[in-house]
């Protein structure tokens, strides 16, 4: 990676880190923390779905695993929350690898892979809802004990900085993937699996690595969700709402790009919140906004917001060079 | 270098390849010709590992590779192109070739450097930053060749790289193929353009209805009555000979 690859990430992270010094209202901080948690999970989805082209409809399986592992370790075994965070990530990676192994080895692609992941997430949801170990339908309440050692902070800004640090870390990880052999092979598998194999790419291994990384990152976002809201149940952790959130953000923002998931999550939730402000009496108005933005993105911005910006920039450049030519012609 | 030993492939009731054998010594360009549907591409797919033979075995440098995955064979040094070109359409030409180069160069800078070298050799240097989806047919054929070359193969399987090109494009690419041979890469090519086969190949194998029916120098093979009949139908050889005698 070169300095040019890193500078945009660092600049954005620093700017975002300064935000709590300006904004102190707690609804806004709540909004930012929640959106960043979604963005983090979406970054996980983007590694597998964006770079690897394997569209999962069941990332809730990893998000929920992260959330439940964190909560259960603390409640039932008294494990420290930070250690729980690491175990949650490992568990997310393991669950993801297993689902990947079962489906990729049987050659599932495209919509079949999407359906299988959806089914796994639903099975997890039903099991978590039924078992007493996971608190059943009542869910799990993490004990309020505000202390940095417990991954609970009195000041929302501190939690915001923590999530921001993780998001930045994954931005760097994604940039690394984009510039590495692993990334090139992953994208090759997305574009044409047979051609990739003929060039010596072990497509099964590459996909398994991608899904394990993806599962770990998404589990991390689930863990942070649990620590921030201190309550989870089967519908929150394993519900299809989170699977949809995690795939919508990259698709809206720019699938297979470094910043896409973050841009998409901020846009979606920003618009959703605005809609709630102006039309709060209509229940579900934010969902209507989600749907409309998705339709617009699919119809008019295939590469998401970032793809659209790039096309506009290219067109702008084209016009400028054409303009310059006309000027020089006129000069003669 | 490569030994295909009585390999067969059955697709349901169809014998696509029937007890075919083939031996390649290192170096040189060997042709594989035959009428449409003879099983040439199926044989290629078995050598490169995309299709498992129903019977027989395949040896590469003395090792039995019959059950190996395609990517393992690429690591061993078997490169292939596809008859129906398979570019990574969303990537640039340079990125396409780099995927091949990454096989033996783990670092990005090395892989990109290798990709640029290969692009220059096959005449794609000017297109490096263009998206592969926007290349002409001739460009895509060159890209297939470049990607396979970037894996630094010992044996290169070319599946109709000249098909769909016009005569001047064929003239341009023939020296490129010869140059690859001169660097010590063994080439096995499926080809319908007979002018190129005569020009390039030291030896040719002829496959018809899944069976290997002839083998030898191109000129001799083309005069072989069995080969003529395979292409033109039963009795064609005798008819041609009679006509030849009448005109003579």
**Domains recognised in chain A with CATH numbers:** 3-300 (1.10.3470)
The structure's pTM equals 0.91
Nearest residue of B to residue A179, measured between CA atoms: B108
Task: Report the distance separating Cα A85 and Cα A87, nearest Å.
Answer: 6
Neighbours of A100 (CB within 10 A): 25
pLDDT of residue B248: 58
* Contact assignment for A188 to B88 by CB distance below 8 Å: yes
ipTM: 0.91
Asked if A181's CB is within 8 angstroms of B70's CB, the reply is no
Burial of residue A300 (CB within 10 Å: 0-12, 13-18, 19+) is: exposed
Q: Residue A277: enclosing H or E segment and its boundaries?
A: helix A260-278
Residue B189's DSSP bridge partners are: B31, B158
Helix residue ranges per DSSP H, A230-259: 234-238, 240-253
Amino acid B140: pLDDT: 94
- At A59 the three-state DSSP class reads coil
Instruction: For chain B, list residues with pLDDT below 50.
Output: none
pLDDT in tens, B94-146: 999 999 999 999 999 999 999 999 999 999 999 999 999 999 999 999 999 99
pLDDT score for A332: 43
Mean pLDDT, consecutive 10-residue stretches, chain A (332 aa), reads 89 94 90 96 97 96 97 95 97 98 93 96 96 92 92 93 97 96 97 96 97 98 97 95 95 94 94 83 82 85 87 79 53 42
The helix/strand/coil state of B208 is strand
Can you tell me the distance from the alpha carbon of A330 to that of B239, in angstroms, rounded to the nearest whole number?
Answer: 72
Cα distance between residue B246 and residue A179, in whole Å: 70
For residue B104, the SS3 value is coil
Q: How far apart are CA B225 and CA B213, in angstroms?
A: 11
Question: Tell me, what's the pLDDT at A320?
Answer: 65
Domain B2-247 part of CATH 3.40.50.620:
no
Q: What pLDDT score does B50 carry?
A: 95
Any idea which residue has 């070359």 for tokens? B149
- Residue B161's Cβ-side half-sphere holds a number of Cα atoms within 13 Å equal to 29
pLDDT of residue B72: 97
Of A179, A192, A199, the CB nearest to B103: A199
**What is the CA B208 to chain-centroid distance, rounded?**
17
pLDDT confidence of residue B193: 86
Given an 8 Å threshold on Cβ–Cβ distance, is A200 in contact with B91? no
**Residues with Cβ < 8 Å from A320, sequence gap 6 or more?**
none
Tell me if B74 and A203 make a contact (CB, 8 A cut-off): no
C-alpha A47: how far from its chain's center? Answer: 9
Query: How high is the pLDDT of residue B208?
Result: 92
Phi, psi of A309 (to 5 degrees): -60, -40
**Residue B114: exposed, middle, or buried by beta-carbon count in 10 A (0-12, 13-18, 19+)?**
buried
| Closest Cα in chain A to B82 | A195
**Length of chain B, in residues:** 248
Helix, strand, coil in percent for chain B, rounding step 5: 45, 25, 30
Q: Can you give the residue ranges of every domain in chain B? A: 2-247
Question: Which of B65, B78, B80, B88 would best serve as a mutation to test chain A binding (most A beta carbons within 10 A)?
Answer: B88
pLDDT at B222: 86
């Amino acid at each position: 990676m070169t300095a040019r690859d890193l500078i945009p990430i660092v600049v954005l992270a620093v700017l975002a880190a300064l935000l709590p010094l300006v904004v102190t209202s707690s609804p806004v901080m709540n909004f930012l923390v929640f959106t960043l948690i979604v963005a983090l999970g979406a970054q996980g989805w983007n590694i597998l779905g964006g770079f690897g082209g394997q569209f999962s409809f069941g990332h809730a399986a990893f998000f929920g695993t992260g959330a439940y592992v964190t909560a259960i370790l603390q409640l039932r075994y008294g494990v420290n929350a930070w250690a729980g965070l690491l175990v949650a990530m490992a568990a997310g990676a393991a669950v993801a690898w297993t689902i990947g192994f079962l489906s990729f080895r049987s050659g599932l692609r495209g919509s079949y892979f999407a359906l299988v992941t959806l089914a796994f997430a639903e099975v997890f949801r039903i099991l978590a809802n039924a078992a007493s170990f996971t608190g059943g339908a009542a869910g799990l309440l993490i004990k309020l004990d505000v202390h940095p050692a417990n991954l609970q902070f009195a000041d929302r800004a501190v939690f915001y900085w923590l999530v921001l640090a993780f998001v930045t870390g994954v931005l760097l990880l994604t940039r690394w993937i984009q510039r590495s052999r692993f990334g090139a092979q992953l994208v090759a598998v997305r574009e044409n699996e047979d051609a990739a194999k003929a060039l010596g790419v072990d497509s099964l291994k590459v996909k398994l690595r991608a899904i394990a990384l993806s599962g770990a990152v998404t589990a991390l976002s689930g863990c942070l969700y649990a620590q921030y809201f201190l309550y989870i149940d089967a519908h929150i952790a394993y519900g299809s709402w989170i699977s949809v959130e995690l795939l919508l953000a990259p698709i809206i923002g720019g699938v297979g790009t470094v910043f896409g998931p973050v841009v998409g999550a901020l846009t979606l939730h920003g618009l959703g919140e605005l809609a709630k402000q102006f039309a709060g009496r209509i229940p579900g108005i934010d969902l209507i906004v989600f749907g409309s933005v998705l339709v617009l993105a699919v119809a008019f911005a295939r590469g998401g917001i970032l793809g659209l910006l790039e096309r506009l920039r290219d067109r702008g450049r084209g016009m400028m060079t054409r303009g310059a030519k006309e000027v020089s012609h006129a000069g003669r | 270098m490569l030994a295909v030993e009585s390999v067969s492939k059955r697709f349901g009731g169809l014998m696509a390849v029937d007890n075919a054998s083939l031996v390649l010594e290192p170096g040189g360009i060997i042709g594989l010709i035959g009428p449409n549907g003879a099983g040439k591409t199926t044989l290629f797919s078995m050598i490169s590992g995309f299709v498992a033979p129903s019977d027989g075995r395949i040896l590469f440098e003395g090792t039995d590779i019959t059950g190996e995955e395609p990517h393992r064979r690429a690591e061993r040094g078997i490169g292939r192109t596809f008859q129906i070109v398979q570019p990574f359409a969303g990537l640039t030409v340079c990125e396409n070739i780099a995927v091949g180069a990454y096989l033996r160069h783990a670092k990005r800078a090395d892989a990109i450097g290798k990709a640029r070298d290969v692009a220059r050799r096959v005449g794609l240097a000017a297109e490096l930053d263009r998206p592969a989806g926007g290349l002409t047919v001739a460009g895509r054929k060159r890209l297939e060749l470049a990607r396979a070359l970037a894996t630094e193969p010992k044996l290169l399987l070319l599946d109709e790289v000249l098909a769909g090109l016009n005569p001047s494009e064929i003239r341009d690419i023939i020296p490129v193929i010869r140059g690859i041979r001169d660097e010590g890469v063994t080439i096995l090519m499926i080809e319908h353009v007979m002018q190129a086969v005569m020009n390039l190949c030291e030896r040719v194998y002829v496959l018809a209805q899944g069976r290997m029916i002839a083998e030898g120098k191109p000129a001799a093979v083309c005069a072989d009555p069995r080969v003529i009949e395979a292409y033109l139908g039963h009795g064609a050889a005798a008819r041609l000979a009679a006509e030849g005698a009448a005109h003579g």
